[in-house]
Structure 1
């Protein structure tokens, strides 16, 4: 590998990669097409790393031996197209950093549930006494942690964009939580391309590695049958009895691996809902493979309360529960959210539509939703999809307005649910910003 490393994008993954690059003796140059956050600038200055913002100096970039491209930059960006034409190696942070660690890696991907599964897996391993780091699409940069910490294991939450930039990366344990159409705008509106991207997590795995997956996901199972992988398969299911892997029977999770058994009553899980049973089964399978004690696993599953912005209960006001599910950036995630509602619901939805098909939500909306508050730029499709099912639909352009309208439309015993089913980039920095604004608006009621 040549020694000139150019990094495109000076966010968390870019700056983390720069720190690791310097440590490993690379000549590093960081280039951001937009503005670099002040905090990241300070880090680059501290490490004496050359950087630029508000544009790309082509000559400097095309002189690279290796380019680390941040996941937010599409392959169609002009500078990336030029790099590919020049035959320059373009990789993701995950690919770059994984070459410099001996740590055992658990990689977790999927359309939904990956953050909860990754956070829960990390909690199980840490409580089990392992020296483990959590990175990828979550928390501190993987590359930065490889540079500065000496972990024995890493739990990585991986997006399809991060997996698109791998060449030799191979997690010892890979988890694929589920597949549903998402980010199709980045995959030529072709679901098959998106599925192939997710399955890259297993492409370099060997026979002594493991692949944990949802056996109830027809799309996933069908793809596996047509494109067999080398690693050992460990399925989990809510509906089928499995000889090995995890399944649910008589309100209990039953896990069997290498003649080891674990049972856990569903009622004692800290996280409720069918999707969370699956997240728990996936995380428990990882913990069992890594020999975490049964008692530790049970204790951790009982106490784990979930992640911010994922069906997070904010406040009860006038006997109305306000729930923040800002992390639901696609239809499938919102499906789970609506499915878990047990009271009449005022639903705040909308944002940047990523080619959504709202058809799957119709039965749930019909059953659970009393009013819809549209928030964001793409309201037309939502109004068209649900206009015949829901009597009250209101369009809003700010979180404050949306929450105020929802407050007026709700009655004692109702729930107000923010579950946008869309990306957040029209009115917010990201889904976290959207969730925090929701919580603030609720607290100000």
Structure 2
């Protein structure tokens, strides 16, 4: 059997390693360049690869193709492979064929990284053998090749879900849906929503779908479509007969005959969105028979994800917060909503079709000044110039931090929450976040 892997990054190299272990003839092809660390792995494993080109004759010999999530389905070569009947799948789909592990799959436009890390932290604290993979950490395929644990918590993007056929998580979590990556979905929100719901398409009545009952897009899809999974909602807006809800500063969980209550003031992560993340993670853990005391202790001891509302330093009474992972408007909405002091907001980057108007009430209420961090800031300036007097354009993290330092006064906050992708000035949102943190430390 011939396996061709398109893309020599984390997921591609993981799939190649697993392919070799399962006796496939493996060939890796990357149209760009392959990072040194991955090249070493391929060479050490004696896996054939090419970079800077896609050799069509080699690729079309494949019995199965594993495609990097970054390659759109609309690329001519992918369409041609599918026309010829060659299965084109994601690394998640490929890896899932070789494990009997209990899988928790977590998706959503925002909050999925934190919910994944939080769920993994609770399960690991309970003594379970559990891996964390997908959009985070070492690739799922790589982990199965190396250790094949009994449980996995997977953070799943819409791109990864687009490449599944038989993949089925025992517990699926749908954190929320807001417009994102619409450039990959013909600028149609319904296509993106359908992609997210692929997480439940193979679930049976033995499986569970935990979902945000406050999300209008989720509610609409569920009123028009069906899933076989057992539905478990969570909400911070209304009381529920079943699931998790918020009442009088307490999370209340009703999953069976018992009622479990937990105060939100002691949670390690504060903010409304983190209450939802805690609800989803707690219910997942309860379904997997983790003791309530372990859940409570884990929620109180958890340290959050890097680049997600990450406190950096307090300088002259000003708090600096790195939320570089906020690559869409909805993520920034959560960030601004959790600010409790006047805020100098650093925003901007590659706009994926953003509508900033949703942020207007929060900007009026919380934002003192805006520092733009992007090549083209016209849309941001146009949207907010009527409500914010001070808007400054900058061309890099260091300049943005220096400008924010001059504007912010004691008792205020400087928040990097770009609401945009990072590729105009940075390699990635991680690079953007690290440059921001370095610039703050240099002050």
Q: If the length of structure 2 is used for normalisation, what is the TM-score?
A: 0.99
Counterparts of residues 219-230 of structure 1 (less than 5 Å) = 219-230=217-228
Deviation at 1:58, TM superposition (A): 0.7
Deviations along 1:323-371, one digit per CA (max 9) or x if unpaired, are 0000000000000000111111111101110000001001111111111
Counterparts of residues 412-427 of structure 1 (less than 5 Å) = 412-427=410-425
Residue 432 (structure 1) aligned with residue 435 (structure 2): no
- Which of 115, 121, 124 aligns to 1:123? It is 121
Counterparts of residues 43-192 of structure 1 (less than 5 Å) = 43-192=41-190
Deviation at 1:281, TM superposition (A): 0.1
Residue 232 (structure 1) aligned with residue 235 (structure 2): no
Backbone CA RMSD of aligned residues:
0.8
In the aligned structure 2, how far is the partner of 1:418 from the partner of 1:357? 18
Question: What secondary structure does 2:43 align onto?
Answer: helix
Deviations along 1:88-134, one digit per CA (max 9) or x if unpaired, are 11000000000000101000000000000000000000101110000
In the aligned structure 1, how far is the partner of 2:407 from the partner of 2:251? 39
Partner residue of 1:199?
197
In the aligned structure 1, how far is the partner of 2:31 from the partner of 2:351? 24
Deviations along 1:120-167, one digit per CA (max 9) or x if unpaired, are 000000101110000000000000001001311000000000000000
Deviations along 1:356-406, one digit per CA (max 9) or x if unpaired, are 000100111111111111111231111111111111111111111111111
Q: Which moved more, 1:286-295 or 1:246-255?
A: 246-255
In the aligned structure 2, how far is the partner of 1:94 from the partner of 1:307? 22
In the aligned structure 1, how far is the partner of 2:376 from the partner of 2:72? 22
Partner residue of 1:295?
293
List structure 1 runs of 4+ shifted beyond 6 angstroms: none
Partner residue of 2:261?
263
In the aligned structure 2, how far is the partner of 1:46 from the partner of 1:261? 53
In the aligned structure 1, how far is the partner of 2:79 from the partner of 2:33? 22
Deviation at 1:305, TM superposition (A): 2.4
Question: What secondary structure does 1:267 align onto?
Answer: coil
- Which of 21, 26, 44 aligns to 1:28? It is 26
In the aligned structure 2, how far is the partner of 1:84 from the partner of 1:393? 49
Partner residue of 2:251?
253
- Which of 191, 207, 210 aligns to 1:209? It is 207
- Which of 259, 271, 274 aligns to 1:273? It is 271
Question: What secondary structure does 1:394 align onto?
Answer: strand
Residue 407 (structure 1) aligned with residue 405 (structure 2): yes
Deviation at 1:79, TM superposition (A): 2.2
Which runs of no fewer than 5 residues in structure 1 stay unpaired? none
Question: What secondary structure does 2:265 align onto?
Answer: helix
In the aligned structure 2, how far is the partner of 1:86 from the partner of 1:388? 55
Which runs of no fewer than 5 residues in structure 2 stay unpaired? none
Partner residue of 2:322?
324
In the aligned structure 1, how far is the partner of 2:78 from the partner of 2:388? 45
Question: What secondary structure does 1:268 align onto?
Answer: coil
- Which of 216, 219, 228 aligns to 1:218? It is 216
Question: What secondary structure does 1:441 align onto?
Answer: helix
In the aligned structure 1, how far is the partner of 2:131 from the partner of 2:302? 18
In the aligned structure 2, how far is the partner of 1:383 from the partner of 1:45? 49
Deviation at 1:28, TM superposition (A): 0.3
In the aligned structure 2, how far is the partner of 1:242 from the partner of 1:212? 13
Q: If the length of structure 1 is used for normalisation, what is the TM-score?
A: 0.98
Residue 308 (structure 1) aligned with residue 306 (structure 2): yes
In the aligned structure 2, how far is the partner of 1:261 from the partner of 1:291? 15
Deviations along 1:186-230, one digit per CA (max 9) or x if unpaired, are 101100000000000000000110000001111101111110110
Partner residue of 2:348?
350
Q: Which moved more, 1:324-333 or 1:395-404?
A: 395-404
Give the number of aligned pairs. Answer: 443
In the aligned structure 1, how far is the partner of 2:28 from the partner of 2:300? 44
- Which of 347, 352, 367 aligns to 1:369? It is 367
Counterparts of residues 384-399 of structure 1 (less than 5 Å) = 384-399=382-397
In the aligned structure 2, how far is the partner of 1:11 from the partner of 1:259? 47
In the aligned structure 2, how far is the partner of 1:401 from the partner of 1:367? 26
In the aligned structure 1, how far is the partner of 2:279 from the partner of 2:171? 14
In the aligned structure 2, how far is the partner of 1:160 from the partner of 1:317? 39
